[in-house]
Structures are given as structure tokens and as C-alpha cells.
């Protein structure tokens, strides 16, 4: 029997079995948000079309080909949300979130809409989850963003994860690089695919993101942005790599990674599964820094970093994993009785690693890793009513020690860094 009404092409009904996967993913996201102090946000599905034209970029595939847009009876141009970041930036401006303590930490999970060819893991109505930091420039934030997504994917059972990483510069160094790249590509445009010949006229950087085999030889000989970074971008990227090294989080420097959205600056990254199935699905998560977006939408200069992941892509891969049990989500509940303070570059790197060890041990920890002043961090610890403060200064970092201070009595004790998790769990 032929049914008159069916789901729209590229959109699907979700039943309990599949929703169990959604619940598992949401639980892991919520646990991560609770640990790192993120607040959940839901923006409207409909936004002004101009928000995405200006924020995502007029020459991007999303805006040029994929948006579901409509005009109301009153003549307003509206668009179904194709991605979250411009909407997050709009909410940040509209509700005065710049007055909140920095960084402003927001996370989300919900549907997006793009009119593209439906295929495995890619629907016209799909879901994304994401985590966003706004208001802090420190490359520590970039490292934390990558760590959060890596941990969520790892918590879901992915074991062969690869982090592709690049810096695409900023407004100071990118224009010169684009000119250099444009000259190189123009001399070889006959060897490019049809889409890339169009991209060359609008945004030559996007040629580097092309997946067509025909363009590979041209891409391999192209100049690389990493060789043309200004001092500010270089000084941002180098410590990021050091933080990732400290976390023992392996990464692949990928000079062809640019991410196809106009608001990205400096750090860009993608996380994929290094398996044949993962290669077919593409990136599981991706993002980077977007320091100019809030200003582009009418606000002040606001450094920001974030990323998103496609829920359906993840679920497609999880369905092939017979050991996956969506009805038993990982529990990461704990208390906030401990505060981690650090002073100095080496201490900050070691604190990042210790924070990860405490998370694995299910110890709820407050932190001010973006702050440099010990006094400011101690005031924050007092405000959070922490029973213990772990203090990691430059001397302690060099000696592989840490101070445990009991806030009520003021007594403190130096313990080896390797034993602090065991000691603090015993005290709690």
C-alpha cells in the first residue's frame, strides 16, 4: 500500500532503541559539562537569515547551497539553524553574557537543518552537540576544547582516534598567505576540479579542504599557512602543542585542514576514527578558535573557541560496536570539595594533566586555569567553599610535588605529584 504521507527526504523518526544512543551521548556531555562548569543553552531553531550569512560566511557551502530559508508574511528572512556557533555568539551579545566571569562556558545539544544530499551519517535534519568558551585568549582553552571532545568520544568506546590540527592564522597574517596561495593555485587552476576553480575566485583557502583526487597533487605542493604565521599566531600555536604533549594526546599536524567556515582564526582541529568505517563517516568532531565572530556581529573583540560533533555520525559507528550498551551511561558524579591552583607556565601544563587524572578518578574539582594570579585563584577557591586547595607553583612543578592546603585550618603538606590523587581521595 502506498502511503500518502511519509517523512521528508533526509529526515527520520527516532524510536526508543535509537534514542537510547542519544541518551548515552547526552549523559556523557552532561557529565563533562558538570565537571568543567559549563551551562547548557538552547537557541531557537529559527534565526534571522543574515546571522548565518554574516557569521558563517556568504561564500560557504552552507550559506550558498544548504540553508533552509523562508520569508514570513511580514517580509522577514528567517533560516532554520544550519549550525550553532553564530546563534551562540548572538545569544552572548543579546543577553549581555560579556558581564559573566570569564571564560563564559556554554554547551548545547539539538537539531540542525541543511539541504544536502542524504547519505550515511549525513541527514537534512541532524543533531549536534557542542562546547564553547568565550572571553579568554589563552591556548589552554584550545587544549581543553580538544580534550573534552576526545574524552567524550573515548567514553563512547572509540579507541583509534586521531586529532588533525592546524593553525590558519589571523587577520594580520592570513591575507598575505591567501595572496601567496592564490598566485600558486592560479598557475595550476587547469589541474583543479570544477568546484575548486570556483572556490579559487571566492576563497582560495577552501581549495585546501577539497577531497577530490584530482586536486591532491596541487594541494601537496601548495604553500602552508603554518610557515606564514605572524608572531602572535605562532606564540599561540606553540604552547597549544606543548599542552597536548603534556596530556599525552597524540595529534597530526595537517596543513590542509582549514574548516569551511569563515569565522575560524588560529587553531582549527578535527577528530576522526582511524578505521575504514571512520574514514567513510568523516570527522566525528571539529572546531577551533573564532576570535572575530562576536565583533563581526556587532560586539566587542571577544576571543572564543569551541567545537561541535555530529550525533548521527557517531551513532552510525556505535551501531557496529556490539559491546556498546546505551542503557548504562557512564556516571561521573562527584563533589566540588577540591580546588586546583597553579602559577607559572610549567605548573599550568602539569595542572592540565593533573586535572585530567582527577577527572578519571571521579574527583570533582574547581579550577581557574585561565588565571595567573594565585591570589585570584585562592579567592575563587574560597568562594566555591573548597575544603582543600592543591597548589602547584613553579618550584613544585620542577620538583614534581604539589601542596595540599586545608582551607579551614590553613595547614598544608607537600606530597609527590604522582600520589596526590590517592591522597586527596583518602582525605575526602
pLDDT digits (tens, 9 = 90+) for 267-324: 999 999 987 776 667 889 999 999 999 999 999 999 999 999 999 999 988 887 655 5
Whether residue 274 sits in one domain with residue 152:
yes
**pLDDT, position 325:** 57
d(CA 302, CA 296): 10
Whether residue 421 sits in one domain with residue 312:
no
On the question of pLDDT at 399 being above 70, the answer is: yes
On the question of pLDDT at 48 being above 60, the answer is: yes
Whether residue 49 sits in one domain with residue 97:
yes
Whether residue 364 sits in one domain with residue 248:
no
d(CA 365, CA 339): 5
Domain count, the chain: 2
Whether residue 392 sits in one domain with residue 348:
yes
The 3-class SS string of the chain reads: CCCCCCCCCCCCCCCHHHHHHHHHHHHHHHHHHHHHCCEECCCCCEEEHHHHHHHCCCCCHHHHHHCCEEECCCCCEEEECCCCHHHHHHHHHHCCHHHCCCCEEEEEEEEEECCCCCECCECCEEEEEEEEEECCCCHHHHHHHHHHHHHHHHHCCCCCEEEEEEECCCCCCHHHHHHHHHHHHHCCHHHCCHHHHHHHHHCHHHHHHCCCHHHHHHHHCCCCHHHHCCHHHHHHHHHHHHHHHHCCCCEEECCCCCCCCCCCEEEEEEEEECCHHHHHHCCCEEEEECCCHHHHCCCCCCCEEEEEEEHHHHHHHHCCCCCCCCCCCCCCCCCCCEEEEECCHHHHHHHHHHHHHHHHCCCCEEECCCCCCHHHHHHHHHHCCCCEEEEECHHHHHHCEEEEEECCCCCEEEEEHHHHHHHHHHHC
CATH at residue 69: 3.30.930.10
Gyration radius of the chain's alpha carbons: 23
Whether residue 244 sits in one domain with residue 280:
yes
Is 387 a member of any domain? yes
Is 29 a member of any domain? yes
Whether residue 145 sits in one domain with residue 266:
yes
On the question of pLDDT at 12 being above 60, the answer is: yes
User: Of 45, 60, 257, which is closest to residue 163 (Cα–Cα)?
Assistant: 257
pLDDT over 70 for what percent of the chain? 95
Is 368 a member of any domain? yes
Is 183 a member of any domain? no
pLDDT over 90 for what percent of the chain? 70
**pLDDT, position 203:** 83
Least confident of 238-247, 298-307, 380-389: 380-389
For 1, the grid coordinates are 500500500
Neighbours of 17 (CB within 10 A): 9
Per the confidence metrics, is the pTM higher than 0.85?
yes
Whether residue 167 sits in one domain with residue 61:
yes
Please name the residues in contact with 245: beta carbons below 8 A apart, sequence gap of 6 or more.
Answer: none
Mean pLDDT, range 148-160, rounded to an integer: 94
The pLDDT tens digits for 58-116 are 878 888 889 999 999 999 999 999 999 999 999 999 999 999 999 999 999 999 999 98
Whether residue 162 sits in one domain with residue 84:
yes
> In which domain, by residue range, is 285 found?
16-173+229-318
The pLDDT tens digits for 173-221 are 999 998 999 899 988 888 999 888 888 888 888 888 888 888 999 988 8
Is 410 a member of any domain? yes
Angstrom distances, CA of residue 58 to CA of 51, 65, 67, 111, 375: 10, 10, 11, 22, 46
On the question of pLDDT at 334 being above 50, the answer is: no
Is 37 a member of any domain? yes
Mean pLDDT, range 220-231, rounded to an integer: 92
Tell which of 318, 353, 374 closes a domain. 318
Return the axis-axis angle of helices 345-360 and 139-155, rounded to nearest 10°.
20
User: Of 334, 333, 335, 337, which is closest to residue 389 (Cα–Cα)?
Assistant: 337
Q: What is the chain's mean pLDDT, rounded?
A: 90
Is 85 a member of any domain? yes
d(CA 44, CA 34): 23
Whether residue 166 sits in one domain with residue 57:
yes
Mean pLDDT, range 15-19, rounded to an integer: 90
Is 196 a member of any domain? no
Whether residue 342 sits in one domain with residue 310:
no
Between 8 and 40, residue with greater pLDDT? 40
Whether residue 23 sits in one domain with residue 136:
yes
**pLDDT, position 111:** 97
CATH at residue 398: 3.40.50.800
Tell which of 288, 318, 348 closes a domain. 318
Amino acid at each position: 500500500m502506498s502511503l500518502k504521507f511519509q517523512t521528508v527526504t533526509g529526515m527520520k523518526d527516532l524510536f526508543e532503541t535509537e534514542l537510547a544512543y542519544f541518551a548515552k551521548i547526552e549523559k556523557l556531555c552532561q557529565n563533562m559539562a558538570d565537571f568543567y562548569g559549563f551551562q547548557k543553552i538552547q537557541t531557537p531553531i529559527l534565526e534571522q537569515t543574515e546571522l548565518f550569512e554574516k557569521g558563517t560566511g556568504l561564500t560557504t557551502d552552507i550559506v550558498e547551497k544548504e540553508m533552509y530559508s523562508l520569508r514570513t508574511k511580514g517580509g522577514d528572512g528567517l533560516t532554520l539553524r544550519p549550525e550553532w556557533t553564530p546563534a551562540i555568539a548572538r545569544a552572548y551579545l543579546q543577553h549581555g553574557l560579556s558581564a559573566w566571569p570569564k571564560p563564559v562556558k556554554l554547551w548545547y545539544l539539538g537539531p540542525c537543518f541543511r539541504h544536502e544530499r542524504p547519505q550515511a551519517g549525513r541527514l537534512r535534519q541532524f543533531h549536534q552537540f557542542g562546547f564553547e568558551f568565550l572571553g579568554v585568549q589563552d591556548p589552554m582553552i584550545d587544549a581543553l576544547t580538544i580534550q573534552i571532545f576526545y574524552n567524550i568520544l573515548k567514553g563512547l568506546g572509540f579507541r583509534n582516534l586521531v586529532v588533525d590540527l592546524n593553525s590558519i592564522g589571523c587577520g594580520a597574517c592570513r591575507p598575505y598567505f591567501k595572496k601567496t596561495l592564490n598566485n600558486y593555485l592560479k598557475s595550476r587552476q587547469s589541474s583543479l576540479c570544477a568546484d575548486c576553480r570556483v572556490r579559487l575566485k571566492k576563497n582560495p583557502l577552501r581549495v585546501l579542504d577539497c577531497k577530490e583526487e584530482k586536486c591532491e597533487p596541487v594541494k601537496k605542493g601548495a604553500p602552508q599557512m603554518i610557515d606564514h604565521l605572524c608572531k602572535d599566531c605562532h606564540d599561540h600555536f606553540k604552547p597549544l602543542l606543548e599542552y597536548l604533549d603534556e596530556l599525552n594526546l597524540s595529534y597530526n599536524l595537517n596543513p590542509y585542514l582549514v574548516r569551511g567556515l569563515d569565522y575560524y582564526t588560529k587553531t582549527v582541529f578535527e577528530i576522526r576514527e582511524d578505521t575504514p568505517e571512520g574514514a567513510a563517516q568523516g570527522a566525528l568532531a571539529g572546531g577551533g578558535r573564532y576570535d572575530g565572530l562576536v565583533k563581526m556581529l556587532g560586539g566587542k573583540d571577544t576571543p572564543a573557541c569551541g567545537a561541535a560533533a555530529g550525533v548521527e555520525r557517531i551513532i552510525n559507528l556505535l551501531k557496529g560496536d556490539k559491546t556498546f550498551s546505551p542503557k548504562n551511561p557512564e556516571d561521573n558524579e562527584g563533589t566540588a570539595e577540591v580546588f586546583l591552583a597553579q602559577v607559572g607556565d610549567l605548573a599550568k601544563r602539569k595542572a592540565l594533566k593533573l586535572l585530567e587524572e582527577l577527572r578519571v578518578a571521579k574527583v570533582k574539582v574547581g579550577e581557574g586555569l585561565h588565571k595567573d594570579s594565585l591570589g585570584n585563584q585562592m579567592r575563587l577557591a574560597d568562594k566555591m567553599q573548597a575544603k582543600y586547595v592543591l597548589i602547584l607553583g613553579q618550584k613544585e612543578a620542577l620538583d614534581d610535588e604539589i601542596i595540599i592546603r586545608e582551607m579551614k585550618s590553613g595547614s598544608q603538606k607537600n606530597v609527590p605529584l604522582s600520589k596526590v590523587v590517592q591522597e586527596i581521595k583518602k582525605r575526602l
